[in-house]
Structure 1
Amino acid sequence: MTINSLNFDAQALREKILDLAMRGKLVKQDPNDEPASVLLEKIKAEKDQLVKEKKIKKTKPLAPITDEEKPFDIPDSWEWVRFGNIVNFYLGKTPKRATHTYWKNGEYPWVAISDMKDDRISETKEKITQKALEETFKNQLVPKGTLLMSFKLTIGKTVILDKPAVHNEAIISIYPVLNIDNVTRNYLFYLLPIISNMGYATPAIKGKTLNKTLLNDLMIPLPPLEEQSRIADKIAQLFALLRKVESLTK
């Protein structure tokens, strides 16, 4: 067997791990876990409170998920949900290139898809200035620890910010409504790459893309919070093992 075939097998194993994870077959269900239906009630209550406090805007209700839409069966303790019902997400921007004072001697990381090479990101090829931050981003940085995902051309690439930054319009920053101990962030970090490529993408000039409506409508198989944590931990463990095996083939 060649090194190339070993690398191919490693990628195939990653995809298989993720497939098992989103079907509820990677870790055991625990009957003591609070079911996802209760978690959804808490998420709705939290979202209503954020709207009441004017921290987020009220949005139109998303369409219920019909049985015909569900692509596969999930455990009884899980729920199918729309992405837009469990997270708030925001598109980025690109400061005007012609305005040199936005880019020259920049100090704040500006994330492009080409920067999203590893699981976590702290350095970027380009940086923007304080002036660009104020005039293009209303002086708001995306906080450290935030989950980012690409949704244009390259779909479903995820990274976690290791320092405050901003990003371009081909990337969204994702904020789970309930994100106790970053559990849902970590679950989505691993599962969004496969979920976002499950047939929602529409043709684009150079590849594929999603838009805000399609992002909101993405169907997420949502486990109980405790199981989300077990799944993310198991994936991290298995992916680390695969990386170790791959390093031995180089």
Structure 2
Amino acid sequence: MILNEYGNNIRRCIEHYENLPFDVPQNWAWTTLGNIGKWQSGSTPNRLNKNYYGGNIPWLKTGDLNDKYVTYIPEYITEKALDETSVKLNPKGSVLIAMYGATIGKVGILTFPATTNQACCACDVFDEIERMYLFYFLLSHREEFLRQGGGGAQPNISKEKIVNTYIPIPPLAEQKRILQKIEALFVAIDKIAEEL
């Protein structure tokens, strides 16, 4: 399964991946995370340049990720920083994952356009992929990313490791059914927790 550069449609083709984690139903397909959206990592504008900070463009650090929708980011950069540095603006709905340190594997979904630091990778998901499907996949894959990050004082995973990770993709209608089931289970868990 390959998604076109602009994410407007999806076309099937035969790809031969080796060592796939498990078999999937016939109407599903294996691909890599790099094929389901446009991925980019962020940047930190020079802290010594005061003209780069205090503007109106949200700038997310991985500590701002909360494993759910990102509704608040405390720090802002300026248009000048966006124009003069390698920092990139990610659109609303981008799925984020932390790549470094104590926050490695933390995820979030932007509820507004925002930039990020270099410790964060963002995916602008193509049309035939439900962003929450990607979100839950990344969440479920956290332990694997932690393992890949190594056991050092500052573990990290690279954007390359992320985009080369295999993901099973069901048809869009099946993605929606899976998400409905996940949400129903979370509601049931919350109800049980309230009754304890």
TM range (shorter): 0.7 to 0.9
Q: 1:242 aligns with which of 176, 180, 189?
A: 189
Return the TM-score normalized by structure 1: 0.66
Residue 17 (structure 2) aligns with: 65
Report which stretch shifted further, 197-206 or 90-99.
197-206
Q: Which amino acid aligns with 2:132?
A: N
CA distance 1:228–1:127, change in 2 (3 Å): same
Q: 2:80 aligns with which of 131, 135, 140?
A: 131
CA distance 1:102–1:72, change in 2 (3 Å): same
Residue 18 (structure 1) aligns with: none
Q: 1:152 aligns with which of 94, 100, 106?
A: 100
Q: How far, CA to CA, are the matches of 2:124 and 2:28 in structure 1?
A: 21
Q: How far, CA to CA, are the matches of 1:216 and 1:79 in structure 2?
A: 16
CA distance 1:122–1:137, change in 2 (3 Å): farther
Q: How far, CA to CA, are the matches of 2:85 and 2:151 in structure 1?
A: 26
Residue 12 (structure 2) aligns with: none
1:155, 1:193 within 8 Å by CA — same for their partners in 2?
no
Q: Which runs of 5+ in 1 are unaligned?
A: 1-39, 52-62
Q: CA deviation at 1:156?
A: 2.6
SS at 2:100 equivalent: strand
CA distance 1:75–1:155, change in 2 (3 Å): farther
CA distance 1:109–1:204, change in 2 (3 Å): farther
Q: How far, CA to CA, are the matches of 1:151 and 1:240 in structure 2?
A: 30
Q: CA deviation at 1:232?
A: 1.5
Residue 111 (structure 1) aligns with: 60
Q: How far, CA to CA, are the matches of 2:130 and 2:187 in structure 1?
A: 20
Q: Which amino acid aligns with 2:140?
A: I
CA distance 1:240–1:132, change in 2 (3 Å): farther
Q: CA deviation at 1:195?
A: 2.6
> C-alpha offsets along residues 89-141 of structure 1, whole Å, 9 cap, x if unaligned?
000111111112212x3322111111112511132121112222222257x52
Q: 2:34 aligns with which of 84, 105, 117?
A: 84
Q: How far, CA to CA, are the matches of 2:52 and 2:193 in structure 1?
A: 41
1:113, 1:150 within 8 Å by CA — same for their partners in 2?
yes
SS at 1:186 equivalent: helix
SS at 2:85 equivalent: helix
Equivalences, count: 187
Q: Which amino acid aligns with 1:198?
A: E
- Structure number with greater Rg is 1
> C-alpha offsets along residues 25-59 of structure 1, whole Å, 9 cap, x if unaligned?
xxxxxxxxxxxxxxx25x2xx33xx49xxxxxxxx
Q: 1:209 aligns with which of 151, 156, 164?
A: 156
Q: How does 1:159-174 map to 2 (within 5 A)?
A: 159-174=108-123
Structure 1 residue 188 and structure 2 residue 134: aligned? yes
1:95, 1:132 within 8 Å by CA — same for their partners in 2?
yes
Give every structure 1 segment of 4 or more consecutive aligned residues whose post-TM-superposition deviation is greater than 6 Å.
none
2:90, 2:124 within 8 Å by CA — same for their partners in 1?
no
Q: How far, CA to CA, are the matches of 2:98 and 2:192 in structure 1?
A: 28
Q: Which amino acid aligns with 1:85?
A: N
**Sequence identity (%):** 34
Q: How far, CA to CA, are the matches of 2:187 and 2:84 in structure 1?
A: 41
Return the TM-score normalized by structure 2: 0.82
Residue 143 (structure 1) aligns with: 91
Q: CA deviation at 1:189?
A: 0.8
Q: Which runs of 5+ in 2 are unaligned?
A: 8-14
Q: How far, CA to CA, are the matches of 1:184 and 1:230 in structure 2?
A: 11
1:147, 1:160 within 8 Å by CA — same for their partners in 2?
yes
1:143, 1:163 within 8 Å by CA — same for their partners in 2?
yes
Residue 11 (structure 2) aligns with: none
Q: Which amino acid aligns with 2:96?
A: L
